[in-house]
Protein backbone atom coordinates (compact mmCIF):
# COMPACT_ATOMS: atom_id res chain seq x y z
CA UNK A 1 0.00 0.00 0.00
CA UNK A 2 1.38 3.36 -1.02
CA UNK A 3 0.47 6.99 -0.41
CA UNK A 4 0.13 9.55 -3.16
CA UNK A 5 -0.83 13.20 -3.02
CA UNK A 6 -3.97 13.57 -5.10
CA UNK A 7 -6.92 15.89 -5.70
CA UNK A 8 -10.41 15.93 -7.08
CA UNK A 9 -10.84 15.55 -10.82
CA UNK A 10 -7.19 14.65 -11.16
CA UNK A 11 -5.85 18.04 -10.03
CA UNK A 12 -3.01 18.49 -7.61
CA UNK A 13 -4.39 18.65 -4.10
CA UNK A 14 -3.45 20.42 -0.94
CA UNK A 15 -0.86 18.59 1.17
CA UNK A 16 -3.57 17.62 3.68
CA UNK A 17 -5.02 15.09 1.22
CA UNK A 18 -3.29 11.80 0.47
CA UNK A 19 -4.53 8.86 -1.56
CA UNK A 20 -3.99 5.44 -0.02
CA UNK A 21 -3.31 3.13 -2.97
CA UNK A 22 -3.20 -0.63 -2.79
CA UNK A 23 -2.30 -1.93 -6.26
CA UNK A 24 -3.74 -5.38 -5.54
CA UNK A 25 -7.05 -4.25 -4.05
CA UNK A 26 -10.26 -4.44 -6.14
CA UNK A 27 -11.65 -1.49 -4.17
CA UNK A 28 -11.19 2.17 -5.13
CA UNK A 29 -8.32 4.03 -3.47
CA UNK A 30 -9.13 5.90 -0.25
CA UNK A 31 -7.85 9.40 0.44
CA UNK A 32 -6.61 10.39 3.88
CA UNK A 33 -7.85 13.90 4.62
CA UNK A 34 -7.31 16.47 7.34
CA UNK A 35 -9.96 17.01 10.07
CA UNK A 36 -10.13 20.62 8.89
CA UNK A 37 -11.79 19.33 5.72
CA UNK A 38 -15.02 19.06 7.71
CA UNK A 39 -15.40 22.83 7.48
CA UNK A 40 -14.83 22.68 3.73
CA UNK A 41 -17.56 20.04 3.40
CA UNK A 42 -19.97 22.19 5.41
CA UNK A 43 -19.17 25.21 3.27
CA UNK A 44 -19.77 23.22 0.08
CA UNK A 45 -22.98 21.81 1.56
CA UNK A 46 -24.17 25.32 2.41
CA UNK A 47 -23.41 26.45 -1.14
CA UNK A 48 -25.28 23.49 -2.65
CA UNK A 49 -28.30 24.26 -0.51
CA UNK A 50 -28.51 27.82 -1.82
CA UNK A 51 -27.80 26.83 -5.41
CA UNK A 52 -30.87 24.57 -5.25
CA UNK A 53 -32.88 26.07 -2.36
CA UNK A 54 -36.35 24.80 -3.26
CA UNK A 55 -35.29 21.16 -3.48
CA UNK A 56 -32.96 21.30 -0.48
CA UNK A 57 -35.39 23.09 1.83
CA UNK A 58 -38.17 20.72 0.73
CA UNK A 59 -36.18 17.86 2.24
CA UNK A 60 -35.40 20.00 5.28
CA UNK A 61 -39.11 20.64 5.79
CA UNK A 62 -39.75 16.89 5.51
CA UNK A 63 -37.22 16.21 8.28
CA UNK A 64 -38.74 18.92 10.47
CA UNK A 65 -42.23 17.61 9.74
CA UNK A 66 -41.25 14.11 10.84
CA UNK A 67 -39.88 15.58 14.06
CA UNK A 68 -43.06 17.53 14.73
CA UNK A 69 -45.17 14.44 14.04
CA UNK A 70 -43.16 12.36 16.50
CA UNK A 71 -43.53 15.03 19.19
CA UNK A 72 -47.29 15.20 18.74
CA UNK A 73 -47.99 11.47 18.50
CA UNK A 74 -45.61 10.45 21.29
CA UNK A 75 -46.02 13.47 23.57
CA UNK A 76 -47.08 11.20 26.46
CA UNK A 77 -44.55 8.43 25.83
CA UNK A 78 -41.04 9.85 26.33
CA UNK A 79 -39.48 6.40 26.14
CA UNK A 80 -40.73 5.92 22.58
CA UNK A 81 -40.02 9.51 21.58
CA UNK A 82 -36.45 9.20 22.83
CA UNK A 83 -35.89 5.89 21.05
CA UNK A 84 -37.28 7.12 17.73
CA UNK A 85 -35.54 10.50 17.95
CA UNK A 86 -32.19 8.77 18.41
CA UNK A 87 -33.21 6.34 15.69
CA UNK A 88 -33.54 9.38 13.46
CA UNK A 89 -29.74 9.62 13.59
CA UNK A 90 -29.44 5.96 12.63
CA UNK A 91 -31.68 6.28 9.57
CA UNK A 92 -30.49 9.78 8.66
CA UNK A 93 -27.90 8.63 6.08
CA UNK A 94 -30.60 6.76 4.17
CA UNK A 95 -33.21 9.49 4.49
CA UNK A 96 -30.72 11.98 3.03
CA UNK A 97 -30.46 10.04 -0.24
CA UNK A 98 -32.32 12.74 -2.17
CA UNK A 99 -29.93 15.41 -0.90
CA UNK A 100 -26.93 13.39 -2.10
CA UNK A 101 -28.56 13.14 -5.51
CA UNK A 102 -29.14 16.90 -5.66
CA UNK A 103 -25.42 17.50 -5.08
CA UNK A 104 -24.55 14.84 -7.65
CA UNK A 105 -26.83 16.51 -10.18
CA UNK A 106 -25.38 19.93 -9.43
CA UNK A 107 -21.91 18.55 -10.20
CA UNK A 108 -23.26 17.27 -13.53
CA UNK A 109 -25.13 20.53 -14.15
CA UNK A 110 -28.55 18.89 -14.05
CA UNK A 111 -31.76 19.94 -12.32
CA UNK A 112 -32.17 18.64 -8.80
CA UNK A 113 -35.72 18.43 -7.44
CA UNK A 114 -37.76 15.99 -9.51
CA UNK A 115 -34.89 13.67 -10.35
CA UNK A 116 -33.81 13.42 -6.71
CA UNK A 117 -37.21 11.99 -5.77
CA UNK A 118 -36.44 8.98 -7.99
CA UNK A 119 -32.76 8.68 -7.12
CA UNK A 120 -33.16 5.01 -6.09
CA UNK A 121 -34.45 4.04 -9.52
CA UNK A 122 -32.26 1.25 -10.87
CA UNK A 123 -30.55 0.85 -7.49
CA UNK A 124 -33.33 -0.69 -5.42
CA UNK A 125 -31.51 -3.96 -4.76
CA UNK A 126 -28.24 -2.39 -3.62
CA UNK A 127 -29.60 0.46 -1.54
CA UNK A 128 -32.46 -1.76 -0.36
CA UNK A 129 -30.02 -4.18 1.28
CA UNK A 130 -28.38 -1.36 3.21
CA UNK A 131 -31.81 0.00 4.11
CA UNK A 132 -32.70 -3.43 5.51
CA UNK A 133 -29.49 -3.52 7.56
CA UNK A 134 -30.20 -0.05 8.97
CA UNK A 135 -33.80 -1.01 9.71
CA UNK A 136 -32.67 -4.07 11.68
CA UNK A 137 -30.18 -1.97 13.65
CA UNK A 138 -32.94 0.56 14.29
CA UNK A 139 -35.29 -2.13 15.64
CA UNK A 140 -32.59 -3.59 17.90
CA UNK A 141 -31.78 -0.09 19.15
CA UNK A 142 -35.46 0.60 19.87
CA UNK A 143 -35.67 -2.59 21.91
CA UNK A 144 -32.45 -1.80 23.78
CA UNK A 145 -33.67 1.72 24.48
CA UNK A 146 -36.93 0.47 25.97
CA UNK A 147 -35.05 -2.07 28.11
CA UNK A 148 -32.88 0.70 29.56
CA UNK A 149 -35.98 2.76 30.34
CA UNK A 150 -37.62 -0.26 31.99
CA UNK A 151 -34.56 -0.90 34.15
CA UNK A 152 -34.30 2.66 35.46
CA UNK A 153 -38.02 3.50 35.57
CA UNK A 154 -39.40 0.22 36.87
CA UNK A 155 -41.96 2.06 39.01
CA UNK A 156 -43.58 3.83 36.08
CA UNK A 157 -42.52 5.92 33.15
CA UNK A 158 -42.04 9.67 33.77
CA UNK A 159 -44.05 12.35 32.06
CA UNK A 160 -42.37 14.31 29.28
CA UNK A 161 -41.85 17.28 31.62
CA UNK A 162 -40.47 15.01 34.32
CA UNK A 163 -38.13 13.28 31.92
CA UNK A 164 -36.76 16.55 30.53
CA UNK A 165 -36.27 18.01 34.01
CA UNK A 166 -34.30 14.93 35.07
CA UNK A 167 -32.29 15.04 31.88
CA UNK A 168 -31.22 18.65 32.34
CA UNK A 169 -30.67 18.43 36.09
CA UNK A 170 -28.52 15.30 35.72
CA UNK A 171 -30.29 13.84 38.75
CA UNK A 172 -30.32 10.45 37.08
CA UNK A 173 -26.72 10.32 35.87
CA UNK A 174 -26.63 6.50 35.74
CA UNK A 175 -29.52 6.37 33.30
CA UNK A 176 -28.00 9.06 31.09
CA UNK A 177 -24.58 7.35 31.10
CA UNK A 178 -25.97 3.91 30.21
CA UNK A 179 -28.36 5.30 27.60
CA UNK A 180 -25.60 7.35 25.92
CA UNK A 181 -23.14 4.44 25.93
CA UNK A 182 -25.59 2.06 24.29
CA UNK A 183 -26.63 4.73 21.81
CA UNK A 184 -22.99 5.41 21.02
CA UNK A 185 -22.41 1.75 20.12
CA UNK A 186 -25.34 1.65 17.71
CA UNK A 187 -24.51 5.05 16.22
CA UNK A 188 -20.87 4.05 15.69
CA UNK A 189 -21.86 0.91 13.78
CA UNK A 190 -24.26 2.83 11.55
CA UNK A 191 -21.81 5.65 10.95
CA UNK A 192 -19.02 3.25 10.03
CA UNK A 193 -21.03 1.36 7.40
CA UNK A 194 -22.92 4.33 5.95
CA UNK A 195 -20.91 7.56 6.08
CA UNK A 196 -19.78 7.21 2.45
CA UNK A 197 -21.50 3.99 1.35
CA UNK A 198 -24.85 5.43 0.25
CA UNK A 199 -23.33 8.23 -1.87
CA UNK A 200 -20.99 5.58 -3.30
CA UNK A 201 -23.88 3.32 -4.31
CA UNK A 202 -25.75 6.28 -5.76
CA UNK A 203 -22.75 7.48 -7.76
CA UNK A 204 -21.21 4.20 -8.96
CA UNK A 205 -23.97 1.62 -8.44
CA UNK A 206 -21.72 -0.36 -6.10
CA UNK A 207 -23.26 -3.35 -4.34
CA UNK A 208 -24.23 -2.89 -0.69
CA UNK A 209 -21.67 -5.25 0.88
CA UNK A 210 -18.76 -3.72 -1.02
CA UNK A 211 -19.97 -0.19 -0.23
CA UNK A 212 -20.21 -0.96 3.50
CA UNK A 213 -16.70 -2.47 3.50
CA UNK A 214 -15.30 0.56 1.67
CA UNK A 215 -17.08 2.89 4.11
CA UNK A 216 -15.63 1.04 7.12
CA UNK A 217 -12.12 1.00 5.66
CA UNK A 218 -12.40 4.70 4.87
CA UNK A 219 -13.34 5.35 8.49
CA UNK A 220 -10.29 3.53 9.88
CA UNK A 221 -8.01 5.38 7.44
CA UNK A 222 -9.59 8.70 8.46
CA UNK A 223 -10.29 8.29 12.18
CA UNK A 224 -9.53 11.93 13.16
CA UNK A 225 -11.72 13.48 10.46
CA UNK A 226 -14.55 10.98 11.00
CA UNK A 227 -14.62 11.76 14.72
CA UNK A 228 -14.89 15.48 13.98
CA UNK A 229 -17.48 14.84 11.28
CA UNK A 230 -19.62 12.59 13.50
CA UNK A 231 -19.54 15.09 16.38
CA UNK A 232 -20.49 17.88 13.97
CA UNK A 233 -23.46 15.92 12.63
CA UNK A 234 -24.71 15.07 16.13
CA UNK A 235 -24.32 18.72 17.21
CA UNK A 236 -26.31 19.99 14.23
CA UNK A 237 -29.07 17.41 14.70
CA UNK A 238 -29.30 18.11 18.45
CA UNK A 239 -29.47 21.81 17.62
CA UNK A 240 -32.35 21.02 15.28
CA UNK A 241 -34.21 19.07 17.96
CA UNK A 242 -33.78 21.78 20.58
CA UNK A 243 -35.18 24.46 18.26
CA UNK A 244 -38.47 22.54 18.08
CA UNK A 245 -37.21 20.91 14.87
CA UNK A 246 -37.07 24.24 13.02
CA UNK A 247 -33.28 24.03 12.88
CA UNK A 248 -33.58 20.77 10.94
CA UNK A 249 -34.97 22.71 7.98
CA UNK A 250 -31.48 24.08 7.33
CA UNK A 251 -29.24 21.69 9.27
CA UNK A 252 -30.26 18.50 7.48
CA UNK A 253 -29.83 19.83 3.90
CA UNK A 254 -26.39 21.18 4.81
CA UNK A 255 -25.36 17.85 6.38
CA UNK A 256 -26.77 15.88 3.45
CA UNK A 257 -24.99 17.95 0.81
CA UNK A 258 -21.80 18.02 2.88
CA UNK A 259 -21.87 14.21 3.14
CA UNK A 260 -21.79 14.00 -0.65
CA UNK A 261 -18.70 16.20 -0.74
CA UNK A 262 -17.13 14.11 2.03
CA UNK A 263 -17.62 11.02 -0.13
CA UNK A 264 -16.16 12.76 -3.18
CA UNK A 265 -13.13 13.84 -1.16
CA UNK A 266 -12.47 10.53 0.55
CA UNK A 267 -13.25 7.83 -2.03
CA UNK A 268 -10.96 8.04 -5.04
CA UNK A 269 -11.50 6.95 -8.61
CA UNK A 270 -10.03 3.89 -10.27
CA UNK A 271 -8.07 6.32 -12.45
CA UNK A 272 -6.07 7.27 -9.35
CA UNK A 273 -4.65 3.75 -9.23
CA UNK A 274 -3.91 3.60 -12.96
CA UNK A 275 -2.26 7.02 -12.80
CA UNK A 276 -0.12 5.82 -9.90
CA UNK A 277 0.91 2.72 -11.85
CA UNK A 278 1.88 4.88 -14.84
CA UNK A 279 4.00 7.10 -12.63
CA UNK A 280 5.68 4.01 -11.17
CA UNK A 281 6.47 2.72 -14.66
CA UNK A 282 8.09 6.04 -15.54
CA UNK A 283 10.24 5.87 -12.46
Give the number of other CB atoms < 10 A from CB of residue 123.
Answer: 16
Q: Are 88 and 121 within one domain?
A: yes
Tens digit of pLDDT per residue, the chain (283 long)?
A: 545 544 444 333 444 455 554 455 567 899 999 999 999 999 999 999 999 899 899 999 999 998 888 888 877 777 788 888 888 778 888 888 889 989 988 887 765 555 555 555 656 778 888 989 999 999 999 889 888 888 877 666 666 666 666 666 666 778 888 888 999 999 999 999 999 999 999 888 888 999 999 999 999 999 999 999 999 999 999 898 888 889 999 999 999 999 999 999 999 876 655 554 344 444 4
Q: Are 100 and 239 within one domain?
A: yes
Q: Are 282 and 187 within one domain?
A: no
Q: Are 82 and 151 within one domain?
A: yes
pLDDT at 251: 95
pLDDT tens digit string along 49-68?
999 899 899 999 999 998 88
Q: Are 128 and 256 within one domain?
A: yes
Q: Are 52 and 177 within one domain?
A: yes
Q: Are 240 and 128 within one domain?
A: yes
Q: Are 112 and 152 within one domain?
A: yes
Q: Are 277 and 230 within one domain?
A: no
Number of domains in the chain: 2
- Inter-residue contact 93 to 194 (CB < 8 Å): yes
* SS3 of 63-95: HHHHHHHHHHHCCCCHHHHHHHHHHHHHHHHHH
Starting at the earlier edge strand, list the strands of the sheet with 30-33.
2-5, 17-21, 30-33
- Inter-residue contact 96 to 251 (CB < 8 Å): no
Q: Are 8 and 18 within one domain?
A: yes
Q: Are 63 and 180 within one domain?
A: yes
Q: Are 197 and 219 within one domain?
A: yes
The parent domain of residue 1 ranges over: 1-29+269-283
Contacts of 254 (CB under 8 A, 6+ apart): 42, 45, 46, 49, 236
- Three-state DSSP state, 27: coil
Amino acid sequence: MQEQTSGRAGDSAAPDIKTIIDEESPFPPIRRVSPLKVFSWLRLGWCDMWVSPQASLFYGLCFAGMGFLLRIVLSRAPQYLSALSCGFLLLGPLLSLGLYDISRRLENQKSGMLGSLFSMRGRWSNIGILALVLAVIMLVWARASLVVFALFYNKGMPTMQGFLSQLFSLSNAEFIAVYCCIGFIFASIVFAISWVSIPLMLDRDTDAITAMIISTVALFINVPVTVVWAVTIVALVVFGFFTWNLGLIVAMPVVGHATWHAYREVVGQSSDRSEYVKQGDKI
